Amino acid sequence: MRIRIDYTTAYDYSQAASSVVQLLRVQPRGGWDQHVARWRVDVDADGSLRAGTDVFGNATHLFTASSPVTRLTISVTGEVDTDEAHGAVRGFLEPLPPAMFLRTTDLTTADPAITAFAHDQPQDDILDTLHALNLAINARMVFDADATGTGTDAVTAFAQTRGVCQDYTHVFCAAARILGVPARYVSGHYVRPEAQPAGHAWAEALVPDLGWVGFDPTNGISITPAHVRVAVGLDYLDAAPVRGARRGGGVETMHVAVSAVDTGAVSRQSQHQGQA
Question: ∠ CA 103-105-109 to the nearest 5 degrees?
Answer: 95
Q: What is the pLDDT of residue 156?
A: 98
CATH 3.40.50.620 fits 2-264, yes or no: no
Q: Can you tell me the mean pLDDT for 207-231?
A: 97
* Beta carbons within 8 Å of 24's beta carbon, 6+ residues apart: 41, 60, 61, 62, 63, 74, 241, 242
- Per residue in 25-58, pLDDT tens? 999 999 999 999 999 999 999 999 999 999 999 9
Strands (E), the chain: 2-24, 34-43, 47-53, 59-65, 69-82, 142-143, 162-163, 183-190, 200-207, 211-216, 221-222, 227-233, 242-248, 252-262
Q: What is the pLDDT of residue 272?
A: 44
- Per residue in 104-131, pLDDT tens? 999 999 999 999 999 999 988 999 999 9
Predicted TM-score (pTM) of the model is 0.94
Q: What is the pLDDT of residue 275?
A: 57
